[in-house]
Structure 1
Amino acid sequence: MSEQEVYQNFIDWLGKTWWGLPDSEQLLPMIKARYTAEEAKFLTGFPFSGRSLEELADFKSMALDQLGPYLDDLSQKGILFRKESDNTVRYSLNDSYFVFFRSAFWPGLDDEDSQRMAPHVNKYYFDGFYDQYVTAHAKGLRALPINQTIEDTRQILPYEDVVKVLDNFEYFSVSACPCRHRKNLDDDSHTCKKPIGNCLHFDTLGRYCVENGLGREITREETERILKESADAGLVHGISNWKEKPDTICNCCSCCCLWMEAYHKLGHHKSLDASNYRLRIQPRECIGCGLCVKRCPMDALQLKFSADVQNKYNKAPVLDPPLCLGCGVCVHKCPTDSLTLERKDEIEDPPATIREYGMRFMADRKAGVALKRHGSY
């Protein structure tokens, strides 16, 4: 079998995951940058759900002492998912989204493999990979409000209170932001100056990252510090978009985040799912500095003239409500406290579980209806 056939067979197999693997001229060079031909041949047909070492030894007709170290090496590359529970280690093949847009860049390496892969991944994103999400009502991340920006903290929903969210976890880890890191590795892309060490993972995913060199273990206190520093830097807290056992909090910028880029550059109807909070503006308190306009990741605010505003510019921010994520990034640094978040009248719950989220995504993709873009400006 030729090398070309080996890679094509693997592409066909990896394309069977829930995310898929759309065709593109970037696909083969990207695959070659991530997998050797030997790995591609070995992984063709590899299960997408967890299997024990003994099961895989039978499946591959290999000795345990030969197979185990090889599977562990692939796990350390972020290609396989390795999970240990009840004294049993199970392995599964990671899907295309996970392996190209997440685990490949979590270590934050500036090595030859990462440099070779990043340009192809960046181009592949725009060349069809994210098109299937144009039909998705629920995005992969949901905006998590910055705590101090909510006017009445008694109304905070448990799954939108970052303190209560963190209470659910026993294990915390941090990795490099894969979105900003892959952009910064690519000479043909822009350079983002926002902090990178703030991709947070919890419990099972957190342990996987640490055990395989894709991140480092941190304390609850360090997690809170990273969230504070990210908020100060103007980054949006984006949490896994399901209520039960979310495993990730990203800290997203508008220029690199793949969900933000989907809105700003691919024309999707929204970026992240919005929180259940909306911005409340008190124009009379505003000094017209425009900081909120600069910090908004969705361009949802404009500084406009108003004769009723008593500042030297006679200007105050005006909101385009459908664009607002309810993230609190604008509120967090307002020098006059003229901005706050208040709970919306109608609450929209996220999917209950990751399984429900996946079922919604698949149903939307099957329906194939592109959704109308948010915003009225």
Structure 2
Amino acid sequence: MPHLNRHNAYSSLMERLNRFPQGAPPSELLTKILALLFTEKEAKLVGQLPMHPFSPAKAAEIWRVREVEAFRTLEDLAKRALLLDAEHDGEKLYVLPPPMAGFFEFSLMRVRADIDQAALSLLLYQYLNQEQEFISRLFIEGRTRIGRIMVGENEVPPAHITRVYNYERASEVIKEAKKIGVGTCYCRHKMQHLGRACAAPMETCMVFGPVADSLIRHGHARAIDSVKCLDLLQQAREHNLVQFGENVQGGLSFICNCCSCCCEALIAARKFCNVQPVHSTNFIAELTATECSGCGRCIDACPAEAVRLISANAPQHPWLRRCVQDSERCLGCGVCVRVCRSAAITLKPRAERVITPVDSAHRIVLMALEQGKLQHLIWDNRALVSHRAMAAIVGAILKLPPVKQALVRSQLGSHYLQGVIERHAERSSKTCYRY
């Protein structure tokens, strides 16, 4: 019977995690991962939490305990980075982050003694790299991705630099951030426990805004200013690491500085390249074959395996090689441009721009819509949705194109939302007519 109760507790938590677009397919491996992070009691409690930010009073109401007891439990979970917390209008609020990008990464952003990080690393590696259902669902389902590649600003030709928006520049994201934290790279830390980490710098995981604030206060990230963060960015680029940021225009919560050997996003980019598992930049590398010396430096540096060496077919020089490019695999990061000594590679704008969601609410609504999970965001059975959360979701829906708004209506069957969308469309048409 205890084993059955244990299974039910973690099953409840897994069901809760999968209500969110960035869910995690249930499996025995996931149960073991969650058991390392949550006690059975915690798993049962967290499985009841709402999707949206909530107060200790709301948690106490759901759990049917005193508010002070709920507060202690929530604080303990936040201290272990299993929940994120923040002050809003003088009220303490908490939210359960998704597994990725979320508490999986947070668990390895610093060296900790309260969990067995070696055992956790092995389980995460097996769950992400061997079972593959989670990683394929995370990077393949739908069309909107969690993250996007950020272009190397110094590798963009001067003639095209005006095409790079501020939200596409890692340096500008850093300069504009109100709060910055840095922690250990989750991917390389995990591989270090498996004896397979590379020599790239470890302290390169950058977090911003409210996420940074929570992780810094609880000791999972180190607070730094923009100057020091820009220094870390430069160090990462000197090691030819690729910047991978949250797929939003405003309010980015993270930028990872990724190596091709350890980073799950870049591994997925190679493994599932035909379905574009991560959003590329708005640039693509262009190779001038006549300038190529065949040195192969770009091949070693490319995180997407978008370049390979072939024979130059020169009878007088049978040893001569040259590079050929697979444009379909190119992420447009610019690392190949950085390492090319013969200036044979340049970045050029893509024919069609990659569309980036406005903010996290917009991205989450798009992902939920594409995965048939939007109802979980609108109607959260575990708690009444706050006005702020509902306003953010409806606002994100109103930013969708008409075709996707129609899909929202068909999925939800909500007369209320249909009325809101129709009134918004009517006001928009009047505004367009006037101006």
Q: Same fold (TM over 0.5)?
A: yes
2:246 paired residue number: 240
Contact between 2:20 and 2:368, CA under 8 Å: does it hold in 1?
no
Structure 1 runs not aligned, ≥5 long: 368-377
Moved more, 332-341 or 251-260: 332-341
1:96 CA displacement: 2.9
Alignment of 1:200-239 (within 5 A): 200-239=206-245
Contact between 1:240 and 1:246, CA under 8 Å: does it hold in 2?
yes
1:180 to 2:185 alignment: no
One-letter amino acid of the structure 2 residue matched with residue 6 of structure 1: A
TM-score in terms of structure 2 length: 0.76
Alignment of 1:1-377 (within 5 A): 2=2, 3-4=5-6, 5-109=8-112, 112-125=115-128, 126-127=130-131, 128-132=133-137, 133-152=139-158, 153-186=161-194, 190-265=196-271, 269-306=275-312, 314-366=320-372
Contact between 1:51 and 1:91, CA under 8 Å: does it hold in 2?
yes
Identity of aligned residues (%): 24
Sort the Cα spacing of 1:135 and 1:335 in 2 relative to 1 into closer, same or farther, 3 A: same
1:110 CA displacement: 7.0
1:297-350 superposed Cα distances (whole Å, 9 cap, x missing partner): 111112334479x99964332211111111011112222333222222322221
Whole-Å separation in 2 of the counterparts to 1:240 and 1:98: 9
Whole-Å separation in 2 of the counterparts to 1:300 and 1:268: 12
Sort the Cα spacing of 1:366 and 1:156 in 2 relative to 1 into closer, same or farther, 3 A: same
> Partner of 2:106: helix, strand, or coil?
coil
One-letter amino acid of the structure 2 residue matched with residue 92 of structure 1: V
One-letter amino acid of the structure 2 residue matched with residue 162 of structure 1: A
Moved more, 1-10 or 256-265: 1-10
Whole-Å separation in 1 of the counterparts to 2:317 and 2:294: 7
> Partner of 2:285: helix, strand, or coil?
strand
Q: CA RMSD in A?
A: 2.7
Contact between 2:151 and 2:333, CA under 8 Å: does it hold in 1?
yes
TM-score in terms of structure 1 length: 0.87
Whole-Å separation in 1 of the counterparts to 2:168 and 2:329: 19
1:268 CA displacement: 6.2
Whole-Å separation in 2 of the counterparts to 1:267 and 1:25: 28
Sort the Cα spacing of 1:119 and 1:64 in 2 relative to 1 into closer, same or farther, 3 A: same
One-letter amino acid of the structure 1 residue matched with residue 125 of structure 2: N
1:143-181 superposed Cα distances (whole Å, 9 cap, x missing partner): 111111011223322322333333331111111111221
Contact between 1:151 and 1:340, CA under 8 Å: does it hold in 2?
yes
Whole-Å separation in 1 of the counterparts to 2:171 and 2:99: 32
Whole-Å separation in 2 of the counterparts to 1:199 and 1:177: 5
Sort the Cα spacing of 1:108 and 1:328 in 2 relative to 1 into closer, same or farther, 3 A: farther
Whole-Å separation in 2 of the counterparts to 1:247 and 1:10: 24
Whole-Å separation in 1 of the counterparts to 2:286 and 2:273: 27
1:276 CA displacement: 0.6
1:278 CA displacement: 1.4
Sort the Cα spacing of 1:87 and 1:341 in 2 relative to 1 into closer, same or farther, 3 A: same
> Partner of 1:51: helix, strand, or coil?
coil
1:68 CA displacement: 2.6
Whole-Å separation in 2 of the counterparts to 1:139 and 1:278: 19
Contact between 1:331 and 1:340, CA under 8 Å: does it hold in 2?
yes
Whole-Å separation in 1 of the counterparts to 2:164 and 2:20: 36
1:372 paired residue number: none
Sort the Cα spacing of 1:314 and 1:111 in 2 relative to 1 into closer, same or farther, 3 A: farther
1:262 CA displacement: 2.1
Sort the Cα spacing of 1:353 and 1:285 in 2 relative to 1 into closer, same or farther, 3 A: same
1:282 CA displacement: 3.6
Higher relative helix content: 2
1:236 CA displacement: 0.8
Contact between 2:16 and 2:48, CA under 8 Å: does it hold in 1?
yes
Contact between 1:108 and 1:178, CA under 8 Å: does it hold in 2?
no
Contact between 1:280 and 1:339, CA under 8 Å: does it hold in 2?
yes
Whole-Å separation in 2 of the counterparts to 1:312 and 1:195: 39
Contact between 1:288 and 1:313, CA under 8 Å: does it hold in 2?
no
Moved more, 341-350 or 198-207: 341-350
Number of residues of Structure 1 aligned to a counterpart in Structure 2 = 364
Whole-Å separation in 2 of the counterparts to 1:17 and 1:161: 29
Whole-Å separation in 2 of the counterparts to 1:276 and 1:260: 17
Whole-Å separation in 2 of the counterparts to 1:229 and 1:164: 16
Whole-Å separation in 2 of the counterparts to 1:67 and 1:348: 44
Whole-Å separation in 2 of the counterparts to 1:348 and 1:10: 35
Structure 2 runs not aligned, ≥5 long: 374-435
Moved more, 77-86 or 312-321: 312-321
Contact between 1:276 and 1:326, CA under 8 Å: does it hold in 2?
yes
